[in-house]
C-alpha cells in the first residue's frame, strides 16, 4: 500500500521533473557551456571568459544592460502604482456582478496576442495615428506629431502589457483582507492614509511582491514591445541577444548575454525580496 502510494507520487512528479530537466536545467547548462568557450579555429573551441569580458569592454552592451534593468524597474513601479488602486477598487469597493465585470474588463485585452495589442498602440501613437490627428483637429498642434519611438511609448506599452499580471495577485491578496480589519482601523481613529500604510499595504505585501516579480521578469525579458514601440532606439537587452544569435550568428556572446540577463533578474528579485523582508515561498503562496 505504502509502496504503491509512493509510486503514484513519483509518477505525478515525473512530468514536472522532465520539464525542469529538459526545458530549464539542460538548456541553461548548455548555454553556460557555450558562453564559456571561444572559437580558436574552425570547429576548435577553448575554455575562455572572453565573451564576458567583451560585454564589459563594449559600453553599448553594458549600457543597454543597465538601461533595460532601470527601465524594467520603472515599468514595474508604474504598473504597481496604477494597478494598486484598480485592484483595491475591484477587491474592496465593488460587490457581485460589477466586480466580476470589471475583473473581466482587465482580462479582455489578453484575448488578443501581444503583437496585436502592440500594433494597436502603434495605430494610436504614430505620426499619422489617432492621437496625432485628434490633436491637429483640435488645433492644439500645427503639424503631425510622432509619439512613437521614444522611451515613453515603450513605457506605456510595457505597463499596459503587464497590468493584468499585477492586478490578479493584488486582487487575490486584497480580497483576503477582511473588511472588519479596515473598519477597525477607522474605528480606532485611522484615516485613509494611515489605514493604507499600516493595514492594507502590509497585508498586501506578498501580493505586491509576487506581482512585481512577475511583471519585472516579463518586462526584462520582453522583446516585442520595446522593439515595436521603441524602434531602432529602443536598446533593449533582449534585442542584443537576438542580434548575437540571429544576425551576428555569435552564439557564444549571445549565450553569455543570456546568462548575464538571468543573473541580473535573479539578483534584482533577490534584492527586492530582501528589501521587503519577504520570502519567495510566502509571495508565491499568495
Give the residue among 98, 70, 119, 103 at the shortest CA–CA distance from 171.
103
**Choice between 59 and 180, CB closer to another protein:** 180
Taking the complex as a whole, the smallest distance from the CB of residue 94 to another protein amounts, in Å, to 17
**Choice between 145 and 273, CB closer to another protein:** 273
Based on its alpha-carbon atoms, the radius of gyration of the chain, rounded to whole angstroms, reads 23
Taking the complex as a whole, the smallest distance from the CB of residue 203 to another protein amounts, in Å, to 6
Q: Using the rule CB under 8 A, which residue among 15, 42, 59, 189 binds another protein?
A: 189
Report 145-184 residues binding another protein (CB under 8 A). Answer: 178, 180-181, 183-184
Q: Side-chain half-sphere of 117: how many Cα atoms within 13 Å?
A: 20
Count Cβ atoms within 10 A of the Cβ of residue 120 and give its class: 0-12 exposed, 13-18 middle, 19 or more buried. middle
d(CA 219, CA 215): 6
**Choice between 183 and 233, CB closer to another protein:** 183
Grid cell 548575454 — which residue? 257
Q: Is the C-alpha dihedral spanning 137, 138, 143, 147 positive or negative?
A: negative
Q: Side-chain half-sphere of 15: how many Cα atoms within 13 Å?
A: 2
What are the distances in angstroms from CA 270 to CA 13, 226, 265, 283? 27, 25, 8, 12
User: Do 127 and 144 form a contact (C-beta atoms < 8 A)?
Assistant: yes
Taking the complex as a whole, the smallest distance from the CB of residue 93 to another protein amounts, in Å, to 15
**Choice between 67 and 203, CB closer to another protein:** 203
Taking the complex as a whole, the smallest distance from the CB of residue 198 to another protein amounts, in Å, to 7
Contact window for another protein (CB under 8 A) among 30-38, 142-150, 194-202, 260-268:
194-202
Report 34-93 residues binding another protein (CB under 8 A). Answer: none
Residues 6+ apart with CB under 8 A from 37: 45, 46, 47, 48, 252
Site size toward another protein, by CB under 8 A: 17
Determine, following the binding rule CB under 8 A, whether residue 27 of this chain makes contact with another protein: no
Taking the complex as a whole, the smallest distance from the CB of residue 185 to another protein amounts, in Å, to 7
Taking the complex as a whole, the smallest distance from the CB of residue 174 to another protein amounts, in Å, to 14
x/- contact string, 195-224, with another protein (CB under 8 A)?
Answer: ---xx--xx---------------------
Taking the complex as a whole, the smallest distance from the CB of residue 181 to another protein amounts, in Å, to 5
User: Do 88 and 103 form a contact (C-beta atoms < 8 A)?
Assistant: no
Determine, following the binding rule CB under 8 A, whether residue 8 of this chain makes contact with another protein: no
Determine, following the binding rule CB under 8 A, whether residue 190 of this chain makes contact with another protein: yes
Taking the complex as a whole, the smallest distance from the CB of residue 178 to another protein amounts, in Å, to 7
**Choice between 43 and 97, CB closer to another protein:** 97
Grid cell 506605456 — which residue? 156
Strand (E) or helix (H) holding 47? strand 44-47
**Choice between 12 and 188, CB closer to another protein:** 188
Q: Can you give the binding site for another protein, defined by CB under 8 A?
A: 178, 180-181, 183-191, 194, 198-199, 202-203
Amino acid at each position: 500500500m505504502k509502496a504503491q502510494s509512493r509510486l503514484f507520487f513519483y509518477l505525478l512528479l515525473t512530468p514536472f521533473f522532465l520539464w525542469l530537466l529538459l526545458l530549464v536545467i539542460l538548456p541553461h547548462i548548455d548555454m553556460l557551456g557555450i558562453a564559456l568557450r571561444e572559437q580558436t579555429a574552425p570547429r576548435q573551441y577553448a575554455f575562455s571568459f572572453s565573451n564576458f569580458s567583451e560585454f564589459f569592454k563594449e559600453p553599448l552592451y553594458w549600457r543597454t544592460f543597465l538601461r533595460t534593468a532601470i527601465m524594467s524597474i520603472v515599468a514595474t513601479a508604474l504598473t504597481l502604482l496604477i494597478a494598486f488602486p484598480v485592484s483595491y477598487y475591484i477587491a474592496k469597493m465593488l460587490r457581485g456582478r460589477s466586480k466580476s465585470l470589471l475583473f473581466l474588463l482587465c482580462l479582455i485585452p489578453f484575448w488578443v496576442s501581444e503583437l496585436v495589442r502592440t500594433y494597436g498602440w502603434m495605430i494610436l501613437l504614430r505620426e499619422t495615428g489617432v492621437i496625432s490627428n485628434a490633436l491637429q483637429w483640435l488645433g492644439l498642434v500645427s503639424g503631425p506629431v510622432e509619439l512613437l519611438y521614444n522611451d515613453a511609448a515603450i513605457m506605456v506599452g510595457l505597463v499596459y502589457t503587464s497590468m493584468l499580471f499585477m492586478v490578479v495577485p493584488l486582487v487575490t491578496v486584497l480580497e483576503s483582507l477582511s473588511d472588519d480589519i479596515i473598519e477597525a482601523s477607522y474605528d480606532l481613529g485611522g484615516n485613509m492614509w494611515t489605514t493604507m500604510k499600516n493595514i492594507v499595504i502590509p497585508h498586501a505585501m506578498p501580493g505586491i511582491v509576487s506581482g512585481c516579480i512577475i511583471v519585472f521578469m516579463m518586462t526584462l525579458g520582453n522583446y516585442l514591445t520595446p522593439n515595436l514601440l521603441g524602434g531602432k532606439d529602443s536598446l533593449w537587452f533582449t534585442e542584443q541577444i537576438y542580434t548575437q544569435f540571429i544576425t551576428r550568428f555569435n552564439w557564444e556572446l549571445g549565450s553569455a548575454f543570456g546568462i548575464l540577463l538571468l543573473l541580473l533578474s535573479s539578483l534584482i528579485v533577490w534584492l527586492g525580496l530582501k528589501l521587503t523582508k519577504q520570502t519567495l515561498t510566502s509571495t508565491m503562496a499568495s
